[in-house]
Amino acid sequence: MMTDFILSERLLPEEEVIRLQQNTPTDIIRNQKVCRNAQKYLSWYDFLELFTEEDGLEDVGHHCNTCRMI
C-alpha cells in the first residue's frame, strides 16, 4: 500500500498518516456533496493550473467556496 511506503520512507509522521486514513474518505464525500450542484466543473488542466502561481481561482472563473481553501 502507498501508506506502507510513506511510513517506511518516513515521508510523513505516523500520526499524520493515521489522520489522513481516517479523514480523507469523509473529506472527499463532504466535498462531493458541497459541489454536487455546482454549475461549472473544471477540466483537469484548469484544476492543475490552480496550483501554479501565475494562475488562480479567479482566472478560471471558478468560485466554489470549498476550493478557495486550497
Q: Going residue by residue through the chain (70 aa), what tens digit of pLDDT does each one get? A: 788 999 999 999 999 999 988 888 887 888 788 777 765 667 888 888 777 766 555 555 555 665 554 4
Task: Specify the pLDDT at position 60.
Answer: 53
Task: Specify the pLDDT at position 48.
Answer: 82
* Furthest CA-CA distance within the chain: 42
Task: Specify the pLDDT at position 16.
Answer: 93
pTM of the model: 0.41
Q: Within its chain, how far is the Cα of 42 from the centroid?
A: 13
- Do both 16 and 45 map to the same domain? no
Residues 6+ apart with CB under 8 A from 51: 70
Domain boundaries, position 56: 40-70
- Do both 29 and 59 map to the same domain? no
